[in-house]
Structure 1
Amino acid sequence: MTKVLVAENIGASGIDLLKEHFDVDVKTDWADGELATEIGAYDGILIRSASKLTAELLQHATNLKAIGRAGVGVDNVDVPAATRRGIIVANAPQSNVVTAAEHTVALLLALARNIPQAHASLIAGRWDRSKYSGVEVMDKTLGIIGFGRIGQLVAQRAQGFGMKIIAFDPFVGAELYKELGVEKAESSDDIYAVADFITIHLPKTPETEGWLNAAAFAKCRDGVRILNVARGPLVVEEDLVAALESGKVGGAALDVFRTEPMTESPLFAFPNVIVTPHLGASTAEATDRAGFQAAEQVVAALTGGSVTSAVNVPAVAAEDLEVLGPFLPLTRQLGKLAMALVEGTSLDAVEVEEFGRIAERDTRPLGLEALLGALDGKTEEELNAVNVLSTAEERGIELVESKRTSARDFTDLVRVSVVAGEQRVRVVGTVVGRQARPHLLEAWGQRFNLQLSSHIALFRYSDQPGMIGRVGTAFGKHGVNIDSCAVGHVEGEDDGAGGKVAVMVVTTDGPVPQAVIDELIGSDGFVDGRAVTFR
């Protein structure tokens, strides 16, 4: 009989489900090296965060076919190693969204009514009834920065208290805001100007780290209350301390911190600050839900069912994947590049068109890769080819796919367009040669034929001599080495001074700092610029 090992506590419901199908062993206390000696006997394993399924450990998993992670991430699993061994890895990405949203609302109410402070005062023997008078949340404005699944659930619950909701997230379709009765902010500055409470629900990326800083607090209304139940580094704690000292921020509720565990912080000294030790996902229901969802995935993987949250399962037949394989990383790059070039304030659609022989295949994975590129680093959820479509749908983003079996000038082409409000940006690419190297063929309305690398920069500028040299000089000053360059001239576009506009694409051997882009854009003759790094 198929054997499954439950190596950590996942909750009774998940174990009961497994026992309906398999011979199940539950063992949660492991000595060093013991799991390596026993894992070879099992077809499936369920873990939480403590077990580390490394490449070395998986070498002993000679019969293993499925790994279920009862939680959101899979950082403790060597997914490439598991994939090489043909092991399906699945997680429970939606297990804690309700719990996190409810904890946010709980902190919001506690912050408004000074509940923890009043509790501490009373059990210390004081009746400070007037000292801890609070404020109503009804008719107050809640600003939500990051309007993914958790942000949306927070909005729905806050609306039940009669709060006005304004949200900012450029990677959510405009129609979704209307459906949920939420005002759409064009920028986070719009939220700072009107919000009485601000809650942040962004992923942690280089772009979002330190989002709420001194500059952001300075733009807020006096006495604003700040909540963070997402990720500690989103808030600059030193700047929050200063804003609390000045009275600019009237209170804060924090569940996460830059470094954890956190037991000593200047923030703890403020009477109007509420803190909890990263409890956003800590409920019995979330624990049980994560275990049950992970168990469902293991059952599906071992019985031939549909594994809906797998992070490494090919979605197409082997013969199609062989043809499409080289186009998967290309399409993800095109999606990320198109997103970098768009200027809209909401992401409404990603359109993918395939031309040539690849259009004869099952091209659905290409659409998913384009979405993965467009949403890379833009969502709270860890995205993969399985969950990206449902995540896009939750955000009101439409995926539109079309294909044609003939291609112009090349055997195969992939065209990715991003629609954001009134803006539409299109990029085109293909793969070239025996090694199927990705090439960029069109961007910003101009045709090229440039081999893509991990790091590129694009510029629009007045078509005049010396511009390439200025880019090279600026890059050299900042220690950025140029690998290759292509230039094109956009027909019919005016630079605002009666001249023509040209487009330059540069590949480099390392990331191009934003400071370099800003320096060039700020100089005479340059119209726009972007830097993109493909992971």
Structure 2
Amino acid sequence: MSERQPRVLIREPIAESGLELLRERFDVVEDSDSDLGSIIGEFEAIVVRSGTMLDAELIERASRLKVIGRAGVGVDNVDVDAATRRGIVVANAPEATVVSAAEHTIALVLAVARNVPQAHAALIAGRWDRARWAGIELAGKTLGVMGLGRIGWQVARRALGLGMRVVAYDPYVALDRFRELGVEPATTPEALYAEADLITLHLPLNEQTRGLLGRDAFERMRDGVRVVNAARGGLVDEDALADAVRSGKVAGAALDVFDSEPYSGPLLQLEQIVVTPHLAGSTTEAQDRAGLIIAEQVAAALDGELVRTAVNIPVVEQADLEVLGAFIPLAAKLGRLAIALVAGRPSRIVVAAHGPLSEYDTRLLTVAALNGVFQGRVDQTVNYVNAPVIAAERGIDVSEQRFAASQHYTNLVRVVVAGEGEDVEVSGTTIGPDARLFLAGALGFAIDIELAPRMAFLVYDDQPGVIGRVGTMFGESGVNIANMAVSRTKEGGKALMAFSIDSAPPPELLARVAASGFDESRFITLT
């Protein structure tokens, strides 16, 4: 009897070229209507777009499933954690819409500069309003690009071609990359606001960037600024934008994304605002490209080959994964900690494995560390294929080191990040049968403390009473210190106090600590 062909369920339409690729090698079923819960257990692969929700319950029923292909960029409609627990690869097509999104951004820039939609609507309504809808030239104007990732880079190139001066803010891109493109770096968002005639956003949405363009940001911008957002809904405080437009502070805005979609809020009532219904990636070419890319990735997963766009599981030997598994989250937290501690733009990242751990495929540790460095700071998912590319795009050199010996621990992971000041080195290990994650070194000190979601680090002169004073400050602010470790270089020398806290420190505590004479004080979130 011939071996059964893997079955692929196409739940939502993809490009014919992608279908042809899959049909050549697998049993492909196109079915958008059947109850998914009753049939998903029959397939080794499923391909979806944004209209199919694959939650934990559905994934649990998918007893044969090896790969989920998302023909597009976002994977919000897939429970990636549930898939990972089941060993199911989740892949997307992150490069498919880059050009389309960049071109749509430029279209919005032109539209808001020349009032094209408003003039069109007026003429359709029978009004020949030439004077009212006179716009501005882009040549010679300054475009502020917030985020110089894949799409921001392409937007900057096109803006330069229009004769614009481009200033960009992205603290995770090396200065050489700015010079290579001919873009001027802004040291802070506020510095960009002060210079830009138009501002375009190309950032991920997270706790730090939500509502980035709010009332305070608008107040810091030039009078008559124009704002474009085709990146993520939620980056712009829509109520604050509406007020800024009404006051005349913002001359116009063009939005393709909104905090809640479909959008029906007050921005639609303002004639200075251009809106489109999340069209940045909606081109024939982008959709076709996404279909073909995801078909290639699904085929690779079913053939046991490298899945270039996997967002959760790299294809490695199971034996390596069993050993390295406990150290992957450790490397990610060390990367996140190192980038938070380094001063200025990173230029070099080194990931080192010490001990028996070094005998395995440590690329997993490198990508985990890079994931910690970049996650939430770049506009794409980081995986072990594209992590070096993401770093290279930002002018950051990445290297791995392996050492058979480990001085104080059986296994040790070390991450070094070089910035504009001194290099920052952190190290850690796992302890116990449940592989608890421990910090072993930071800021030039040996230290032994379990890593936690909220950490604080204080460097100070070693003298009596400091620990008690810190405990009192935190207690009076209602912040509980869950765990603490202290290390020093020598008696009477410099000391490091590292501790985990149960809640975020309030502003008054941060101000009090900053005024207390510590050499360094850092509060870091590692989630």
TM-score by length of 1: 0.92
In 1, distance between residues paired with 2:299 and 2:155?
A: 32
Which amino acid in structure 1 is aligned with residue 91 of structure 2? A
What are the residue-to-residue correspondences of 1:189-204 with 2, within 5 Å? 189-204=190-205
Q: Confirm or deny that 1:503 pairs with 2:507.
A: no
Aligned residue in 1 for 2:332: 332
**Out of 514, 521, 524, which is 1:529 matched to?**
521
Which amino acid in structure 2 is aligned with residue 293 of structure 1? I
**Out of 1, 11, 16, which is 2:15 matched to?**
11
> 3-state DSSP class of the match of 1:234?
coil
In 1, distance between residues paired with 2:17 and 2:522?
A: 50
In 2, distance between residues paired with 1:205 and 1:189?
A: 19
Q: Gaps spanning 5+ residues in structure 1: where?
A: 493-498
In 1, distance between residues paired with 2:227 and 2:510?
A: 31
What are the residue-to-residue correspondences of 1:24-423 with 2, within 5 Å? 24-30=28-34, 34-265=35-266, 267-344=267-344, 346-423=345-422
Maintained 8 Å contact 2:229/2:257: yes
In 2, distance between residues paired with 1:235 and 1:336?
A: 26
User: 1:305, CA displacement in angstroms?
Assistant: 3.1
User: 1:10, CA displacement in angstroms?
Assistant: 1.9
Which amino acid in structure 1 is aligned with residue 155 of structure 2? V
RMSD across aligned C-alpha pairs, in angstroms? 2.1
Maintained 8 Å contact 2:449/2:484: yes
In 1, distance between residues paired with 2:110 and 2:39?
A: 49
- From the superposition, tell whether residues 447 and 164 of structure 1 become closer, same or farther in structure 2 (CA, over 3 Å): same
| Residue-pair matches, total | 523
- From the superposition, tell whether residues 162 and 450 of structure 1 become closer, same or farther in structure 2 (CA, over 3 Å): same
> 3-state DSSP class of the match of 1:440?
strand
- From the superposition, tell whether residues 524 and 2 of structure 1 become closer, same or farther in structure 2 (CA, over 3 Å): closer
Moved more, 354-363 or 196-205: 354-363
What are the residue-to-residue correspondences of 1:428-447 with 2, within 5 Å? 428-447=427-446
Moved more, 230-239 or 97-106: 230-239
Maintained 8 Å contact 1:511/1:533: no
User: 1:376, CA displacement in angstroms?
Assistant: 2.1
- From the superposition, tell whether residues 129 and 25 of structure 1 become closer, same or farther in structure 2 (CA, over 3 Å): same
> 3-state DSSP class of the match of 2:426?
strand
Which amino acid in structure 2 is aligned with residue 309 of structure 1? T
> 3-state DSSP class of the match of 1:259?
coil
> 3-state DSSP class of the match of 2:415?
strand
User: 1:501, CA displacement in angstroms?
Assistant: 4.4
Which amino acid in structure 1 is aligned with residue 289 of structure 2? R
Maintained 8 Å contact 2:104/2:280: yes
Which amino acid in structure 2 is aligned with residue 179 of structure 1? E
Aligned residue in 2 for 1:495: none
Maintained 8 Å contact 1:47/1:68: yes
In 2, distance between residues paired with 1:491 and 1:215?
A: 46
Which amino acid in structure 2 is aligned with residue 283 of structure 1? T
Maintained 8 Å contact 1:474/1:516: no
Sequence identity, in percent? 49
> 3-state DSSP class of the match of 1:336?
helix
Maintained 8 Å contact 1:311/1:386: no
Aligned residue in 1 for 2:505: 513
> 3-state DSSP class of the match of 1:25?
strand
In 2, distance between residues paired with 1:511 and 1:96?
A: 39
In 2, distance between residues paired with 1:514 and 1:349?
A: 33
User: 1:208, CA displacement in angstroms?
Assistant: 1.1
What are the residue-to-residue correspondences of 1:464-475 with 2, within 5 Å? 464-475=463-474
In 1, distance between residues paired with 2:244 and 2:147?
A: 22
User: 1:54, CA displacement in angstroms?
Assistant: 2.7
Which amino acid in structure 1 is aligned with residue 41 of structure 2? G
> 3-state DSSP class of the match of 1:402?
strand
* TM-superposition CA deviations, 1:342-396 (whole Å, max 9, x none): 121x222211122222122221111111101111211111333443333222222
> 3-state DSSP class of the match of 2:93?
coil
Maintained 8 Å contact 1:193/1:221: yes
Maintained 8 Å contact 1:174/1:421: no
Which amino acid in structure 2 is aligned with residue 530 of structure 1? R
In 2, distance between residues paired with 1:516 and 1:421?
A: 29
* TM-superposition CA deviations, 1:495-535 (whole Å, max 9, x none): xxxx9643210112x34236265223332323432222333
Maintained 8 Å contact 2:138/2:163: yes
